[in-house]
Amino acid sequence: EGGGAGGGAGGGPKYSVFTWVVVLGLLGVWSSMAVVYFDIVDYDSVIGEGQHHPGSASFSPSVGPCTFRSTEKLKEKGKNMFRPSFIQIIKIFKLCSCHFCHFLLLFILAKKKKPKLFNKFDKTIKAEIDAAEKLRKKGKVDEALRAFESLVQQYPQSPRARYGKAQAEDDVAEKLRSNDMLQRAINTYREAAELPDATSDLLMAALKRRAERQQFLGRMRGSLVTLERLVQIFPEDISLKNDLGVAHLLLGDNKGAKKVYEQVLAAAPNNGFAKVHYGFILKSENKIAESIPYLKEGLESGEPGTDDGRFYFHLGDALQRVGDNSAYHWYELGHQRGHFASVWQRSLYNVEGLKAQPWWTPKETGYTDLVKMLERNWKTIRDEALAVMDRNTGQFIPEEENLREKGEWGQYTLWQQGKKVGNSCQGVPKTCSLLEKHPEATGCKRGQIKFSVMHPGTHVWPHTGPTNCRLRMHLGLVIPKQGCRIRCTTETRQWEEGKVLIFDDSFEHEVWQDADSYRLIFIVDVWHPELTAYQRQTLSPI
């Protein structure tokens, strides 16, 4: 009987002692026969194969090099019984030509504990439930739903029938892309779990799926409540606590998540999933040095859920901030894992295939009219910005993304995510009027248009923007003669008054302000020129 998640606290497959005895016995017999009688083993290749290649289909976990020293002695038939490690036995066993034994071994290893979804009453109507489940598994979801609805009407006390109805509603919701039907499924999963005599495995499967579907619908608080109930019912299940921590994070409740992961790490100090998430939280609290070992050890664990671009991103960033160049090792790993376009270009919300280079010329962007307009009207734009600054209305807001090592950096935003910000244009009406004619900028849902003032003694850490879907224009308005510079990848440039610099901020960049007076620039983000009109219309805002 399938149709649900496993119910054990450990979350992994369960094997009996007898099963392992049989496996080991079979392996011992057939590996000995392969070596002693058939002489078909290439010992050197077996001994040299220490590493498990990612993506290869193998029983073996990733292990270090083997420690056998003499292959010649092992080749003396009859004198020495071959006694390799368990990993090597499997490698040798795979060379055996006995197809029956292969089948038997695979059958035994694949036979793991199935979730017990049937209580005593459900077993009396198993044939009817199986018939409905068969329809569901064949993809006949509407028929399956009708069959389960009939069973629930007939046997309202059956948890398994109710759970089947929830799964069928879930399937229909997916087929119809219906949020209303999905909400029905969410309610039915709860009903199944609340019925008396529901097995612990059914309880686990129903509530876990309920929490997942609540998250899918954006019902984050509801998902949190469901997961809290699961943790209460199954207090020893670490994976449920880890899921609960994620639910807190999705709600923006970092304190709640931190408390959960502290409990997990107290019970399971080596849990990699908890480590990366706990490190992520410490980093968000600006506990940079403290976050590094948790992020690093969590990523090194290779546990499911740890291979996420955000963790490589934040580990590298933390290492850079403490002056550790091993940051680029982790950026390279993140690139190899497919999270970053390159070591330098580390944005996480990307469209594949867009031209990628750190610095751009106006001609390359295709937005020469916009650049000419900005450079022709730079004094008008500058004077309006200075007037807003001089009025001291507090409209220049300090940078809040924790990108500064030190100093003062204020911003006055006109457009964000393709929309005007409040009444900000009232302070700079001419500037806004000039920009209205350029939808590549005002309609850029993944960008901003803003003034940026940076005071002496400011340093902005190396960082990357969130997306490769935009290019960033900097128009120099008030630029001290010396001391202000910006690096993008390996090239450093300086601003000039009345001139536009264009770069792709998804590449690593860094800023220094070591002048004697403030630096004022106008930042205009534009869509990447290779994005289609449809993409510009449908991409989510950032």
Q: How far apart are CA 271 and CA 306, in angstroms?
A: 10
Residue ranges of the alpha helices (H) in 338-485? Answer: 362-365, 368-376, 378-390, 424-427, 429-435, 439-442
Q: Give the list of residues 6+ apart from residue 138 with CB closer than 8 angstroms, or none.
A: none
Cβ atoms < 10 Å from Cβ of 405 = 10
Q: pLDDT tens digits, the chain, 542 residues: what are they?
A: 434 333 333 344 445 555 554 444 544 444 443 333 333 333 222 222 222 222 222 212 222 222 222 323 323 333 333 334 343 344 444 444 455 555 555 555 555 578 899 999 999 999 999 999 999 999 999 999 999 999 999 999 999 999 999 999 999 999 999 999 999 999 999 999 999 999 999 999 999 999 999 999 999 999 999 999 999 999 999 999 999 999 999 999 999 999 999 999 999 999 999 999 999 999 999 999 999 999 999 999 999 999 999 999 999 999 999 999 999 999 999 999 999 999 999 999 999 999 999 999 999 999 999 999 999 999 999 999 999 987 765 678 888 778 888 999 999 999 999 999 999 999 999 999 999 999 999 999 999 999 999 999 999 999 999 999 999 999 999 999 999 999 999 999 999 999 999 999 999 999 999 999 999 999 999 999 999 999 999 999 99
Q: How far apart are CA 240 and CA 77, in angstroms?
A: 52
Place of tokens 């071959």: 82
What's the angle, vertex CA 373, arms to CA 371 and CA 374, rounded to 5?
A: 65
Q: How far apart are CA 212 and CA 220, in angstroms?
A: 10
Domains, the chain, ranges and CATH? 120-337 (1.25.40.10), 359-538 (2.60.120.330)
| End-to-end Cα, the chain, rounded Å | 44
Q: Give the list of residues 6+ apart from residue 114 with CB closer than 8 angstroms, or none.
A: 1, 2
Amino acid at site 269: P
Length, in residues, of the chain: 542
Closest by Cα among 180, 230, 235, 195 to 210: 230
- In 293-363 the beta strands, taken as DSSP E runs, fall at 359-360
Q: Give the list of residues 6+ apart from residue 24 with CB closer than 8 angstroms, or none.
A: none
Please tell me whether residue 421 adopts helix, strand or coil conformation. Answer: coil
HSE-CB for 178 with a 13 A CA cutoff = 14
62, 95, 118, 352, 371 from 67: Cα distances, Å: 15, 21, 49, 44, 65
Instruction: Check the CA dihedral 354-356-359-363 and report its sign.
Output: negative
